[in-house]
Structures are given as C-alpha cells and as structure tokens.
Amino acid sequence: MNKWIEDAVVYQVYPKSFQDSNGDGVGDLRGVISRLDYLKRLGIDVIWLNPVYKNSGVDGGYDISDYRAIAPEFGTMEDFDELLAKAHARGIRIVMDLVVNHTSTEHPWFCASRRDRTNDKRDFYIWRPPYEGGVPNGVRSMFSGTAWEKDEATGEYYLHMFAREQADLNWHNPRVRRAVYDLMRWWLDKGIDGFRMDVINLIGKPEAMLRSDGSPDQNGFNGPLVVDYLREMNREVLSHYDVMTVGETGCVTVEKALEYAPLTGEALSMVFQFEHMDADAGERHKWTTAPLELRKLKTVMARWQTRMHARAWNSLYWCNHDQPRIVSRFGCDTDEESRVRSAKMLGACLHMMQGTPYIYQGEELGMTNYPMKTIEESQDVEAIGAYRELVTERGEMTPEEMMACIRRKGRDNSRTPMQWTAGRNAGFTSGTPWMPVNPNHTEINAEAQVDDPDSVFSFYQRLIALRKAHPVIVHGDFTLLMPDDPQVFAYTRCDGEHTLLVACNFSGEEAKLDAQAATRGERLIGNYEDEGCADTLRAWEARVTLL
C-alpha cells in the first residue's frame, strides 16, 4: 500500500449539492473549484467526487449515458480539467466515481443492445426470456420490486439491480470488461488519482440468479468471480498507475474484504463495508426508527479493526450520500450543545481508528437530517419506491410511520445543499435550489465555524492534523475496552511504542469508565474544556489520550 494512501483523509463532494456557480440551483464543478481553499483549510488530502458524467437524471448521476462526458448541469470537460489542475496545485488528489455495474438505458451500448437479439452489443447486458410468460425469476431490485424489465422490441427481460433505467452490464462478457478498462485508462491518463467503485461486488453475478427458471430472490453480491475480475482489472489497469481505489461493497464480510483489499495490493486499496450501518437496522432493514444498539456497533467495528489489521486496509465512514446525517442518527441534534458535543464525539471515535477516514460534505459542520414532511418533497428514487411498496401497495406502514423512517434514514437527508452561510439559500445558490436548504442553516454553517476554535469544523481540522502527527493512529493495532457497556465506546491503539486511549460516551447521561479506560496520560483532544474526572465521561464526551 502506498504511503500516501495510508495517511490520507478523504472528503466526499456530492457536486449537485455542494456549491452552485451559475444560479441554476444545481451545484457544479466551478462551484467545487471555488471551494478548494475551504477544503485545503480543513486539511483533507483527497476529494471523492460523486458522478459528474452525462446521465439520465434518475439516480443522482448513477445512471450514466456517456462515461467520457461531463453532464451539462455540472459544466464542461474544461471545467473538470481546471478542477483537477487546481486541486493538484493545492496538493489535493481527485478520486472519481466509477459506476460500471450498470449503465443508463440511454447509454449507446444499451440502445444498440435492445434493438434485436443478434446485434453485437446484445451480450453487453443481461437478457433472459420470460419464464411461464412472466419474469425470469424472483430476483428483486435494491430499489423495490422485481429486478427484471420486459423490453417490447424483443420480448425478453433485462436485469436491473437498481432503477429500471439502470441496466446491469454483463461482466461475464470479456468485451464488456475490456470496454470498462478502456474508459478507466482514459480517465487515469488525464491524471485523476483513483476510483470509488460503485456496487463493485455485484459484477460477478452467480449464474444461478440469472436463470429463467422462476427461482426465488437471491443475493447477487460477492459472487464467485468478483475477485477474479478485480484482480484482472488490477493487472490490466490499476497496477500501471499510482492510484487509490475503494470498492463500495454491500453485504461484504471480513473474509471477502481480505480478498478484495489485501495489503499485498493485487485488487483494491480498500472497501466500504456496511455492517456498522446496520447497528440501527430493524425488521424492515433500513426502514425503521429503531435506536442505535451501541454494543452491536462496537462488536462490528472491533471485528473489522482487529481482523483487517496487518492484512487488509479499512475505510472509515459515518456518512455519505446514501446515509442520513450521523449527528442526527448516532448523536443528538435536539439542542445546540448536544449537537456540537456529539458531532465532535462521533468524529473522534471514528478518526482515531485504523483505516482511511471519509468525511461527507457538511459532516465537518455537524449538519443534521432534514425535517421532511411528506413524500412529495422527496427527490430520492429509493425512498419513493419504498414508500410506494410499504405504504401504498402493501399497507404495512401508515404514511406517518414511513415518513418517520424516511426522516431518520432516507438519502435526502444528506443531499440538501451544503450550508455555507446564514444568508439566503445558505450561500449555496443565488437561484432556486434543486433541494430545499435545511432551515437550520441560520445556525449551522461554515461561515460561523471556520474561525471559531470551538466549532465542529475546528475539531475535525484537529482530528486530521493528529493523524498526520501521530503514526500510532495510522499503524497501531486495536483493542476494544468495556465491550459490554451500553453507553461507552472505548478502545486502545498500540504500535509497540505508543498507546492511544480513546473513550467516547454515546449518550447524554454520565457514564463510568473502568480502570483501564480511565487511565490518565497526555490529552491529545477532547470535546470538553477541562479534563473532568478520570473515571467519568460527561454527556457525549470524547477523550483521546496518549499513554
């Protein structure tokens, strides 16, 4: 693993909601350029840019119709080149989203593919005949309903694991893989610094889920060929460049991650695992208002920390464009003091672990969930589909119940505009924003925080600086303390020379520490002014100590 990857802190920019430069209400590349100095000031090393390619507007840019063109709403290729040059001039690298499990149905490959059964792009996608006059089998889309869509031109069905406008590519076809490797080289030759690979462990779909035999739904993640394809991609493309890669891998296990992101470097640099995001999942998976089960969170994170150590590389994240805001989710956003305190505590808890930390835009300000009232306000294909299925079609939940779940877990929460100022539209746009701005931007915004030493922003700045100053944060091993405690998340990191002690209170009530977690040493960072009692954590307190 390259040294720069081990030390790096990544900042995720969702361009549509970051900064609008031309008043059309949609964030764009020139907007990102104008905020590079802000990111430099925060201290991050890498930007992961959500998709900016030409797309059909169904799933926030994850429905690409031209891999080599910038979507007009985001700007031009010249804007992109300028962003890359200006980021590099500031020592910031750029990682692009690579969405190659599927394309938009408007992509020329799909347009050719659907025409007839014999054209040379037919086998670029997954086509199957009907089974007993209906869908080939029970495989379901991640966005609700069947994953098969009938196409009238040939009477066959194509597979779409997401929206019906997102047709899955057939990775078992070597010509598809070659075409993907070509477009990857095209971007890397431009000088970009890597890829975040969308749902990449879906590419090696098991044959059993592709048969037209009426079989029930199956999980398509982690198929037997995923690892072979990743190694081939590494041999053909990645190994020829100095790049950082992170695979988005739903349903990944530690065992699989050891193959997908080994330190030996023959596949990816790291993966995004999702297990810790299930620590507040319920019967209907994400659609619940169930509170966090801290013990579950600790067990999962400790397992990833200890089992990956010295074998594979972790990524660390609380938020992204698919997750709600962490301070509203695992912290407390009901009053200002708790919000600031718990946002800092969550930052410290994550950033002191081993792996590459990812900060999602606005997380460094402690931005919160959005108070959405009705489903009509949602812009998210996932939430709208789930509402239709669970409320309208099946009647399993009342509208009120489902809206409570969407307010807590929906993806719109992270996609409201970045809060730059207390002024009109939070300084995001001079026009009408494509998503409403969170009304709390009058209190929570960058302008109010960048010069305030007690702000969440300043705290994140210091967390990033600590990682650069203390190798134990990058390299130390991990030991969970007080595993059964329902309030406290405490652990040590040790590299043989130094020991770091991290103690976090995931509640608004005082919590007792055991003797080991209460050890005094050199205080590196904390979210209270004074040190307090050694064996007690105050509400939402975080303490990081060098022993």
Residues that bind ligand GLC (CB under 6 A): 59-60, 62, 99, 162, 198-199, 248, 321-322
Amino acid identity of residue 354, one-letter, is Q
Q: Would you count residue 22 as binding Ca ion (CB under 5 A)?
A: yes
User: Computed from CA positions of residues 51, 53, 58, 63, in that sequence, does the dihedral angle turn out positive or negative?
Assistant: negative
Residue 332 CB neighbours (<10 A): 19
Task: State in angstroms the smallest separation of the CB of 267 from ligand GLC.
Answer: 19
CB-based contact 209:148 (threshold 8 Å) = no
Q: Would you count residue 28 as binding Ca ion (CB under 5 A)?
A: yes
C-beta nearest to ligand GLC: residue: 62
Q: Would you count residue 26 as binding Ca ion (CB under 5 A)?
A: yes
Residues across the chain: 547
Q: Would you count residue 24 as binding Ca ion (CB under 5 A)?
A: yes
Q: Of the candidates 20, 165, 259, 541, which one interacts with Ca ion according to CB under 5 A?
A: 20
Task: State in angstroms the smallest separation of the CB of 441 from ligand GLC.
Answer: 24
Of 98 and 518, nearer to ligand GLC (C-beta) is 98
- Which of 59, 165, 198, 275 is catalytic? The answer is 198
Distances (CA, A) of 106 to 63, 66, 96, 165: 9, 9, 21, 8
Q: Would you count residue 34 as binding Ca ion (CB under 5 A)?
A: no
CB-based contact 285:292 (threshold 8 Å) = no
Residue 28 contact among ligand GLC, Ca ion, none, beta carbon within 5 to 8 Å by kind: Ca ion
Of 21 and 55, nearer to ligand GLC (C-beta) is 55
Count Cα atoms within 13 angstroms, Cβ side, for 98: 28
Strand partners, 543: 503, 526
Considering only CA atoms, which of 140, 131, 196, 198 is closest in space to residue 169? 198
Of 21 and 101, nearer to Ca ion (C-beta) is 21
Task: State in angstroms the smallest separation of the CB of 57 from Ca ion.
Answer: 14
Residue 24 contact among ligand GLC, Ca ion, none, beta carbon within 5 to 8 Å by kind: Ca ion
Task: State in angstroms the smallest separation of the CB of 205 from ligand GLC.
Answer: 15
- Which of 20, 106, 193, 248 is catalytic? The answer is 248
Angle between helix 174-190 and helix 226-236 axes, rounded to 10 deg = 40
**Degrees (nearest 5) of the Cα angle 145, 147, 152?**
105
Would you call 198 a catalytic residue per the annotation?
yes
Task: State in angstroms the smallest separation of the CB of 272 from ligand GLC.
Answer: 9
Residue 168 contact among Ca ion, ligand GLC, none, beta carbon within 5 to 8 Å by kind: none
Residue 162 contact among ligand GLC, Ca ion, none, beta carbon within 5 to 8 Å by kind: ligand GLC
Distance CA 451, CA 340 (A): 15
Task: State in angstroms the smallest separation of the CB of 74 from Ca ion.
Answer: 8
Q: Would you count residue 7 as binding Ca ion (CB under 5 A)?
A: no
Three-state DSSP at 542 gives: strand
Residue 62 contact among Ca ion, ligand GLC, none, beta carbon within 5 to 8 Å by kind: ligand GLC
Distance CA 494, CA 477 (A): 5
Residue 22 contact among Ca ion, ligand GLC, none, beta carbon within 5 to 8 Å by kind: Ca ion
Q: Cβ neighbours of residue 480 under 8 Å, at least 6 residues apart?
A: 298, 302, 305, 306, 490, 491
Of 269 and 425, nearer to ligand GLC (C-beta) is 269
CB-based contact 286:250 (threshold 8 Å) = no
Amino acid identity of residue 402, one-letter, is M
Of 59 and 156, nearer to ligand GLC (C-beta) is 59
In the chain, % helix, strand, coil (3-state, to 5) comes to 35, 20, 45
Retrieve residue 18's tokens: 């970051």
Task: State in angstroms the smallest separation of the CB of 60 from Ca ion.
Answer: 15
Residue 495 contact among Ca ion, ligand GLC, none, beta carbon within 5 to 8 Å by kind: none
Binding site for Ca ion (CB under 5 A): 20, 22, 24, 26, 28
Catalytic site residues? 198, 248
